[in-house]
Chains A and B, each alone.
Chain A
Amino acid sequence: MKPKLKRFFIFPLIGLLFLVTACGRGTSENELKVMLGSTVVTLDTAHMQDSYSFEVVADCIDGLMQLDEKGNAIPAIAESFEVSADGKEYTFHLRDAKWSNGDPVTAHDFVFAWRRHCKIADEYSFIFDSTVACIKNAEAVIKGADPSTLGVTAKDDKTLVVSLDAPVSFFPALMSFPSFYPINEKFYNSVKEGSYGTSPDTFISNGAFTLDSYIPGTANIALKKNESYWDANRVSLNMLRYQVVSSSDNALTAFKNGTLQVVKIAGEQVEHIKSDSELSKQLSFIPEGSLYYIAFNQDPKNHHGGVLANVNMRLAITNAIDRNSLVKNYLMDGSLPTYTAVPQKFSANVKTGKFFSENQDRYKDYVSFNLEKAREHLDKAKKELNRDEFNIHLLYSNDSGDRITKIVQAVKSQLEANLPGLTVTLQPVPKAEYLRNFSTDNFDIAVANWSPDYDDPMTFLNLWTTSNAKSTEYWSSAEYDKIISDCSTDNLAINYDARWDAMYKAEKILFEQAVIAPLFTNTNVILTSPKVSGIEYHTAGVDRVFKSAKVK
């Protein structure tokens, strides 16, 4: 090579090396870096519908109430509240809290946000109506009536009065849910239409953190401690950084090299982690409160002969699934085999402190792993249907990761092995297609998943009422509908124990008729750096709370 030509190569190389070494950067103190499973779609509470958005907005905004680490409702922006004797009117007294632009947080901010939420009537507006919060006139406003008729008024700047159509036993806890968060009207009106909550400039907070960098869909979100937060002493983090990571292998490596301090990993990685004594100490299993179950399409004119309209066929399937093996041999992530319609470790009784589904044997006559009983039901079904061979299709969405594939493979192999004459054809479709098929009853059986919206068994039991759009699997029971609606109206709603018993009664109907076959309660496998403590996990609403989180 000629000497001049050498320079042609060497200079750019030296330049590049210099640039590279000059740009290193350390991390600042009290900074927590956590993994987020998917992008945050919006910070506008009226449009929110996924747990990631709920989590990040809850870092930034406080509602009337918040949940403590055990899931009990404790005051947030509301310093105290009173309930009327009939349980239909709540009066919240607000504390002196400030928005991050210096404005005081007033009762009007709540009125504005709630009216707007019902007027926009997006996916989560149902949380205001008689299915959940029972706020007066919510249904009418959602359907287009004047928002000012909604049952929420600001008596003065610091007093908020909420009127309900029926008493709601879990109302204070519900006030911690992001759909009920306030929005500063003056600020909202000052940003361009449609751009509220799409960047740090178009969003203000009254909570533990303020937005430092964010744009819808971004892979990196940075939150800064809000110095003007009313409870700022509780917050020790200066910075909270979210990194969106979609692959659990990626998450694990990033955790090992210290890039992320809290990550969620997949079941198959658990074995590998347990073999590492250092890592296994940092492993924890957090029940998620979401239920995986098999839904049956009971349409008698279904294209596979409507075999699932036969109750014995459904009972045969319900009793032929070995949920223990499914969880232990296929998922391997500490998920809990479940025999109830309400998942395990969810919704504790305020009096006894026990979870609603603590007793998993409650319906063991109908739902269990019992081959004898399964075959008995199958024989009856064969007689009644006058057939020996059945082929049913199992619908599932194939773009939500390997997990679901493992579940359907387990279900298929168990059903085919345990129920002679039955073949299961897997029917994988993309998620959008799955939702469409599911809601239009275009399936035989489907693996479905439901995550709770609020901390009450009703968030699940509501799914199978006749009026619910999600449960049109050609099953409808007047008795079931009546119990569910009684639970949300005066006579039962006010009597805690009677309501609790009524819900068990409703759940029993589901299993007598094998409307669903529950599979398991989902569990998240979490790795947390030993330096990190104080993260609170909840099964409903906001999944993680970082207000008390600390980094050593």
Chain B
Amino acid sequence: MAKYITKRILMSVVTLFIIIFTLFVLVRIMPGDPFPVERMTAEMIELKRIELGLDRPIPIQFADYMAKLLQGDLGNGTSLYNGAPIMPIILVCMENSFKIGVMSILFGSGVGLMMGIAAALNRGKFIDRFCTICSILGVCVPSYVFMIFLQYFFAYKIPFFPYFFDPSNFFFSAIMPAVSLSLISIATVARFTRNEMLEVLDSDYVKLAKSRGLYGFKLIRKHVLRNALIPVVTVIAPLVVDLLTGAMVMEKIYGVNGLGKLMVDAIAGEGIDYNYVLALSILFSSLYIGIMLILDILYVIIDPRIRLTAKEKV
């Protein structure tokens, strides 16, 4: 098991390195440069290029960048926010995005699970149909429609929640953004939970457990949920990354200073900021790789059968 995990971690590091290198080269050869041109002359731009070391060959620039990165230094922006250090800015955006993301995942998977379980236990009845309709709607309706709807009704028509996100009143003002983002996870989790539950409920060992007199919560928790959860976890994992890396539209509508907006600013501002694009891509890819890693380990914990096969393989 330890060997398996070590191998997975090593693989992740190599993948990350390849990603960084590819991105580094791509960012530099793609059209556009970091300098807004409206009030700058060609000489001024050339001076800035030299100042930032962009006139050197790409491999040297890359070596330089990696050396700094390994010391945990993401450097300064090349144009965005006038070359302020990247780290503190990313940290603030990350905090906002992560907190809202986590709230949304907890809410989304919580509600999704409950809906899925309720639907499965009441198969064919009203609750089942209601939950199915809800999850179809959740997948079909674009989330920004829901966002604007929430904002309009619960901040304007019934002014209960704050209209915009406000970091000084974090939890309260983050509820609407988080709920509006969780729509997709609710729908996806509910659908998967229902299907998996139904499959497990029909299985022989649940029938056996029932015949032994087990019922209710204990049966669901010990015998049904545990088996039904594995595929659900697989679905949640990519959702987690999506939600953590920020949601541009949500951030725009609720005025959240998050990672999605930062990425858009870095690419679509007056100039492309090489270092922000890189730093954010590294962050996103390592998140993705990290979550996948955790997922693999989680499988082993949730389902002992995988642990056994892993042991046999090793």
Question: A residues within 8 Å of B by Cβ?
Answer: 1-5, 8-9, 12, 19-20, 23-25, 39, 41-42, 44, 47, 49, 121-124, 126, 192, 194-195, 198-199, 213, 215-220, 222, 243-247, 250, 253-254, 256-259, 399, 430-432, 435-436, 439, 469-470
> B290 within 8 Å of A by Cβ?
no
* Known contacts A250-B253, A254-B163, A257-B163, A123 near B84 by CB under 8 Å: no
Asked if B138 is an interface residue, CB under 8 A from chain A, the answer is no
Give B206-217 as 1s and 0s: 1 = Cβ < 8 Å from A's Cβ atoms: 000000000111
A240 to B249, CA, bound (A): 26
Contact of A256 among B156, B175, B251, B268 (CB under 8 A): B156
Contact assessment for B163 and A123 in the assembled complex, using a CB-CB cutoff below 8 Å: no
Select from chain B the residue with minimum beta-carbon distance to A22. Answer: B172
Q: Return the chain B residue nearest A250 by Cβ.
A: B253
Residues of B within 8 Å of A, CB-based: how many?
A: 61
Residue in B92, B175, B272 whose beta carbon sits within 8 Å of that of A215 in the complex: B92
Which residues B217-249 have CB closer than 8 A to chain A? 217, 220
In the complex, what's the smallest C-beta–C-beta distance from B15 to chain A, in angstroms?
A: 30
CB–CB B39/A222 < 8 A: no
Tell whether, in the assembled complex, residue A44 and residue B82 are in contact, meaning their CB atoms are under 8 Å apart. yes
| Cβ–Cβ < 8 Å partners of A19 in chain B | 171
Smallest CB-CB separation from B256: which chain A residue?
A: A219
Interface string of B95-111 (1 = CB under 8 A from A): 00000000000000010
Which residue of chain B is the closest to A127 with respect to CB atoms?
Answer: B39
Least distance between A508 CB and chain B CB atoms (Å): 27
CA distance A143 to B270 in the complex (A): 24
Assuming the contacts A41-B82, A435-B38, asked whether A5 and B220 have C-beta atoms less than 8 A apart, the reply is: yes
Does B142 belong to the interface (CB within 8 Å)? no
**Residue numbers in A under 8 Å from B42 (CB-CB):** 469
CA A215 to CA B89, docked complex, whole Å: 7
Known: A20-B172, A217-B261, A219-B255. A439 touches B167 (CB 8 A): no
A-side interface mostly: loop
Please give me the residue from chain B that is nearest to A44 by CB atom. B82
Nearest CB of chain A from residue B270's CB, rounded to whole Å:
6
Chain B contact residues, CB within 8 Å of chain A: 32, 36-42, 44, 47, 76, 80-85, 88-89, 92-93, 110, 114, 117-118, 121-122, 151-152, 155-156, 159, 162-169, 171-172, 175, 215-217, 220, 251-253, 255-257, 261-262, 265, 268-272
The CA-CA distance from A41 to B80 in the complex, in Å, is: 8
Nearest-neighbour CB distance to chain A for B150, whole angstroms, equals 13
Instruction: Please indicate the chain A residues that have their CB under 8 angstroms from the CB of B114 in the complex.
Output: 8-9, 12
Of the residues B47, B80, B88, B271, contact of A199 by C-beta under 8 Å: B88
> Which B residues are CB-close (under 8 A) to A257?
155-156, 159, 163
Other-chain residue from A194, A213, A259, A399 in contact with B162 (beta carbon distance below 8 A): A259
User: Which of chain A's residues has its CB closest to B152's CB?
Assistant: A253
In the complex, given contacts A215-B88, A219-B165, what are 12 additional A-B residue pairs having Cβ atoms less than 8 angstroms apart? A5-B121, A5-B217, A5-B220, A23-B171, A194-B76, A198-B84, A218-B92, A219-B261, A220-B164, A254-B163, A257-B163, A470-B38
A200 to B21, CA, bound (A): 36
Beta-carbon contact of A47 and B215 below 8 Å: no
The answer to whether B270 and A435 have CB atoms under 8 Å apart is: yes
Question: Which single member of A49, A194, A244, A258 contacts B84 (CB below 8 Å)?
Answer: A194
Interface contact B163-A436, CB-CB below 8 Å: no
Q: Closest residue of chain B to A195, judged by CB? A: B85
* Residues of A contacting B151 in the complex (Cβ-Cβ under 8 angstroms): 253
Q: Note all chain A residues with C-beta closer than 8 A to B252.
A: 246-247
Interface contact B217-A217, CB-CB below 8 Å: no
- CB-defined contacts of B216 to chain A, threshold 8 Å: 2-5
Inter-subunit contact A435/B37 (CB<8 Å)? yes
Question: Judging by beta carbons under 8 Å apart, are A435 and B36 in contact?
Answer: yes
From A256, which residue of chain B is reached at the shortest CB distance? Answer: B156
* Docked pose: A24 CA to B169 CA in angstroms: 9
Q: Is the CB of B255 within 8 A of A243?
A: yes
In the complex, which residues of chain A have a beta carbon less than 8 angstroms from the beta carbon of B88? 195, 198-199, 215
Cα–Cα distance between A193 and B50 once the two chains are bound (Å): 19
- Are B171 and A432 touching (Cβ within 8 A)? no
Which of B36, B81, B164 interacts with A243 by CB under 8 Å? B164
Specify the chain B residue showing the minimal Cβ separation from A5.
Answer: B217
Q: List 9 A-B contacts (CB under 8 A).
A: A20-B172, A216-B80, A218-B257, A220-B166, A253-B152, A254-B164, A257-B159, A399-B268, A470-B38
Distance between Cα atoms of A20 and B154 in the complex (Å): 13
Please indicate the chain A residues that have their CB under 8 angstroms from the CB of B40 in the complex.
Answer: 123, 469
Q: Are B257 and A217 in contact (CB under 8 A)?
A: yes
Q: What residues of chain B lie closer than 8 Å to A218, measured between beta carbons?
A: 92, 257
Task: Given A8-B217, A216-B89, A217-B261, check contact A244 B255 (CB 8 Å).
Answer: yes
